[in-house]
Structure formats: structure tokens, C-alpha cells
Amino acid sequence: MKQLKKRLQQGATLHGCWLNLGSTVTTEIVGLAGYDWVLIDLEHGAGSEKDVYQQLQALEHTPAAAIVRIESTQRQRIHRILDMGAEGIMCPRITSAAEAAAVASGLHYPPDGTRGVAKMVRASSFGQNFQNYYQQAKENILGIVQIETLEVLDHLDEIAGIDGIDVLFIGPADLTMSLGIFGQFDHPLYVDAVKATVNAAEKAGKATGILFANPDEYTRYSNMGIRLIACGADATFVANGARNLAHTLQTFRSSGKSGQS
């Protein structure tokens, strides 16, 4: 493991990126780019569980820690991804403390949780390292729940206080949609919700995270106390790079420079 949880607990600000193409190649490229962590997206991404397995293998020799966003809070979904070797799990659209508690329970082996035991899995080097993995899993596995529904805003303190929930991660698009102010990231309702999330996390000694598209937003959110920061995605990098280069070539063609030696 790459000590992501420990670094957060020590007060570090950690930079991440979304992986939503399901590609082992872009996974490896991004993993080597200099991010502290990457998130493989099973909720909205193009990949499947089979792709996740191979993506985790591609990240093994890179500095980036691997988090996987699954699409439900089911215990079986959680421990299946952890058995593959993920260092953290993110669950979206949490609405209550009970849902968050179910996530926390699924992350850890008994007596701390309800994670099923399997030794012949990638996370424990197929049985060669199970005892060590078992002893260190709780201190290494990062539990993240997303704050992006109206209901969850009434339970922030309860959720932040749950042992095993390490990060309250704000989803700006879904949160503003839930608030009826989609995309209005300067709206007082959204700003207040972000501040309330940060305050709840800080009171409980936990961290807050966020994903944004524009790096110019970094200082704003960092100054609010958010320390698990994500910006960009492999699909965005490919799309922007392709569009920018195509536009440049079209500009040369339109200016008549294509025929010059």
C-alpha cells in the first residue's frame, strides 16, 4: 500500500485524478504523471470489474495510490474490489448515516466490520501475505463517501463521526443539481453546503475531498480546508488534446500555411 490514509491523517494535501476510460494504457500514463492518487470510476466510467483488475495491475509500479468508486454500498461490491488490491473505496450518493455505516463496515474484517475473508486474492499476494495484509488493512484502507444529495446534508456530523469513514467527498455537479442550482458553484446554498461538510469533517478529525474541472479553483477549495483534491480525467485529457491539435491543424490549413515548405 502507498500510505494514502496515513498521509491524509498527517494533514497532507493530496492530488488525484479520475480514470473513466477503463483503459490500462491511460491508467498507467496517468499513474506515472505525478498524482498522489487516482480514482477508477465504476459508477460512470466505461470500464467493468475485469478492467479494474487490470488497471490496478497497471498502477502497481507507479507512485499513485488506487481508489475505486463503486456504484452501490453493498458489502459484496466493496470487498470484491478490495480483494483486487484497491487502497480505497468511494461510494456515491450517500443519503444517511446508516448508509455510511454500511460502507464503513464493508471495508474491514471482523471484529471491526463485515468484510468477507479470502486469502487467495491479489490484495494478499494470493495467500503469501495475508496475515500482514489483515493486520494492516484497517490502518491503510481509505473509506470515502460522497456528499451530493439533499438528504445527506442533515447528517454530516453523524457520518463524519463514523469509524471507518475517512473522507467526506463533495460532488459539485450532483450536489448543485440536488440543490436546484445546477452548475452554480458560487451560489450561497452550494457554498454553505461545502462549508458545512468541511466543518463536520474537521470536528471529527476527518478529511474533505472534492473534484473540479478547472485548476483555477484549486486555491478556493484549498483555502476552505479541502485536502483530497481531484482535477481532470483521462477522458478529458484525450478529448482536449485531440480537439486542441485538430483546431491547430485547421488553423494552419485555413491560413494557407499547409502548402508552404
- Contact yes or no for 85/123 (Cβ under 8 A): yes
Total domains, the chain? 1
Instruction: Give the pLDDT band of residue 137 (cuts 50, 70, 90).
Output: very high
Mean pLDDT of 40-61: 97
Residue 258 has pLDDT above 90, yes or no: no
C-alpha cell at 9: 491523517
**For residue 191, what are the domain limits?**
4-259
pLDDT in tens, 2-18: 999 999 999 999 999 99
Residue 34 has pLDDT above 70, yes or no: yes
- Contact yes or no for 165/104 (Cβ under 8 A): yes
pLDDT in tens, 70-110: 998 888 999 999 999 999 999 999 999 999 999 999 999 99
Question: Model pTM?
Answer: 0.95
pLDDT at residue 62, rounded to an integer: 98
Q: What is the CATH number of the domain that holds 219?
A: 3.20.20.60
Q: Would you call 44 a catalytic residue per the annotation?
A: yes
The one catalytic residue in 44, 108, 155, 247 is 44
Instruction: Give the pLDDT band of residue 129 (cuts 50, 70, 90).
Output: very high
Measured from the Cβ of residue 170, the count of other Cβ atoms closer than 10 Å reads: 24
